[in-house]
Amino acid sequence: MNKLTSNPKLNRWIEEMAALTRPKNIYLCDGSEEEYKRLAHELVQAGVFVPLQKKPNSFWCHSHPDDVARVEENTFICSKDKEDAGPTNNWKDPAEMRQILQTLFSGCMEGRTMYVIPYCMGPLTSPLSRFGVEITDSPYVVLNMKLMTRMGKEALAHMKEFVPGIHSVGVPLKPHEKDLKWPCNPHNRWIVHFPEDREIWSFGSGYGGNALLGKKCLALRIGSAMGRDEGWLAEHMLILGLTNPEGEKKYIAAAFPSACGKTNLAMLKPTLPGWKIECVGDDIAWMRIGSDGRLYAINPEAGYFGVAPGTSMKTNPNAMLTFTKNAIFTNVALTEDGDVWWEGMDGSAPAGLTSWLGEPYDPASGKPAAHPNSRFTVSAKQCPIYDKEAENPEGVPISAILFGGRRASTLPLIAESFSWAHGVLLGASLSSETTAAAKGEVGKLRHDPFAMLPFCGYNMGDYFAHWLEMGRKTTADKLPHIYSVNWFRKGSDGKFLWPGFGDNSRVLKWIFERTSHKAKATKTAIGYVPDSLDLQGIHVDVKSLFHIDREEWLQEVDGLEEYFQRFGEHFPMELKLELAQLKKRL
């Protein structure tokens, strides 16, 4: 085999993977526009992509009906010691897992092209960035990685060390055999991480978070293990820049479970006059303490892989303007005139839709036209409010961190923690009603600490301790303020108490002013709540939004005590004390 690159370690690994998977061809991706257009054209010819007349250089496609979300039950953290994976991860002995993978990957790329994708997570010259190489037999993955990462020649030129990741759809092709439109192997899916070896193996799924290895696999599962070892944080968080009418700017990071409104908040259009929001990132933040003692964050991604349903000009106009061109839409509905549609988009469903299954859509079926977890993939640079500091290699200074999920009751609209340790308890206590972003039952309440339950690459008890340790690396006055938020509280009539969307800027204004020591607050058992919010122009039931039901909260604490027992002696004593103090205050 000719040497593909000037990196000997990379060449050896490519040779090893080629010998194992036996592809028909090997292709090194350069990340060029020409390459993108050529591969997209090949997918159009194969009937996988449908070009969209209404959105230049954009495509519609649909997956296999059983390859539509992350598969947490098939996701493994293969640390050397089972204890290190902890109770929230699936674990297998690394040696045993490697044997399974060797068997699975043997000949799995026969008849296919092996694409080698060098990529960078974060701005190319940032000391906070990390490099990866994904080997895949899926051109769909190549095109999405082009939009989601800094991929190709430039990444390769800057790369010294890299995280190797191999992905296969798990469907070898015999000579003259016609390929499937969406090849995948739903009965044999494995998303495997070796945190000590910094290595990723993914088999059987062609979908998003299972197949785009820079996203959840490197940026969070391997990233969190790197962060633990190197003294930084890899988090499932959006980053936004908030500017007040006087021109003062602050940055806020926020962790919400998937499909709980992260993208909507990251691209918010404030309803408050004179306030401005800019988007650094909508899903992942890598954060470390800077030389001035403040916490700095970069968004390691270069694009958005956003949930489409519910996105509209009303809920997220900036997202709608971001994907008017150069976008890939997966599992949404297709209109007769060559556009896309999904539930929650402005206006009713147009006639003549093709559903996400690729069939004529029948509104009488009662089924959605777009899959609830259907997605758009698009470059972040197309966002009309993309923050120019998103490309700053040093990152942006974080003034506040928010934790929030979908909770119909108990949690008030917002509460501020008393301290960093209390804030870590707020993050560890996060729970949310489940959504369609992961396979399984929707609407069930589940614990999701820091919104990292499916993404933490090591023992979550140690992860809590790592957060506490980060707080000891600097002085309290330089640490971000920490908040719990809940946009989803409902009244006795079952309706949402808070309008949400653009009106969330009213809550952000209070946070902004709290971090400047200007806004007043009332101390409650669970944290500081606003003395007053800017509610000009809206009518809300403030009393219900901030009602703290003592009985409900005591039940919440009991539930947390029980949940935290799972982590045994890995659960930090400092958090036990915080929880005991909360109980005492109640």
Which amino acid, residue 273? P
Fold of 8-48+70-231: Phosphoenolpyruvate Carboxykinase; domain 1 (3.40.449)
Q: Is 348 exposed, middle or buried (0-12, 13-18, 19+ CB in 10 A)?
A: exposed
The active-site residue, picked from 29, 120, 260, 456, is 260
The predicted structure's pLDDT at residue 402: 98
The two three-digit tokens of residue 245, written as one number: 């009418």
**Averaged over 224-252, what is the pLDDT?**
98
Q: Is 384 exposed, middle or buried (0-12, 13-18, 19+ CB in 10 A)?
A: middle
**Three-state secondary-structure class, residue 234:** strand
The reported pTM is: 0.96
The two three-digit tokens of residue 12, written as one number: 């050896």
Would you place residue 3 in the very low, low, confident or very high pLDDT band (cuts 50, 70, 90)? confident
The predicted structure's pLDDT at residue 442: 61
Q: CA 249, 254, 255 angle in degrees (round to 5)?
A: 170
Distance separating alpha carbons of residues 468 and 412, to the nearest angstrom: 25
Look at residue 437 and tell me whether its pLDDT is greater than 60: no
Q: Check: CB of residue 526 under 8 Å from CB of residue 415.
A: yes
Look at residue 200 and tell me whether its pLDDT is greater than 80: yes
Indicate the domain borders of the chain.
8-48+70-231, 234-302+387-585, 304-382
Distance separating alpha carbons of residues 137 and 27, to the nearest angstrom: 10
Nearest to 28 by CA among 147, 124, 123, 119: 119
Look at residue 439 and tell me whether its pLDDT is greater than 70: no
**Averaged over 13-27, what is the pLDDT?**
98
CATH code linked to domain 234-302+387-585: 3.90.228.20
Average pLDDT, the chain: 96
Contacts of 253 (CB under 8 A, 6+ apart): 235, 237, 238, 239, 285, 287, 297, 398, 400, 401, 402, 480
Nearest to 208 by CA among 440, 437, 436, 457: 437
The two three-digit tokens of residue 430, written as one number: 């996060």
DSSP H helical ranges for 444-530: 460-471, 504-515
Look at residue 1 and tell me whether its pLDDT is greater than 60: no
Residues 297-310 pLDDT 10s: 999 999 999 999 99
Residues 321-367 pLDDT 10s: 999 999 999 999 999 999 999 999 988 899 999 999 999 999 999 99
Residues 399-426 pLDDT 10s: 999 999 999 999 999 999 999 999 999 9
Residues 60-103 pLDDT 10s: 999 999 999 989 999 999 999 999 999 999 999 999 999 999 99
Contacts of 305 (CB under 8 A, 6+ apart): 144, 148, 208, 209, 212, 215, 283, 375, 376, 377
State the architecture of 304-382 in CATH terms: Beta Complex (2.170)
Q: Is 217 a catalytic residue?
A: no
Element (H, E) at 240: strand 237-243
Would you place residue 434 in the very low, low, confident or very high pLDDT band (cuts 50, 70, 90)? confident
CA 125 vs CA 111, 391, 521: distances in Å: 38, 10, 42
Question: Would you tell me the crossing angle of helices 460-471 and 420-428 to the nearest 10 degrees?
Answer: 160
- At residue 238, what are phi and psi to the nearest 5 degrees? -80, 160
Would you place residue 187 in the very low, low, confident or very high pLDDT band (cuts 50, 70, 90)? very high
Return the C-alpha torsion angle 75, 81, 86, 91, nearest 10. 20
554-582: b (≥16 Cβ within 10 Å) or e: eebbeebeeebeebeebbbeebeebbeeb
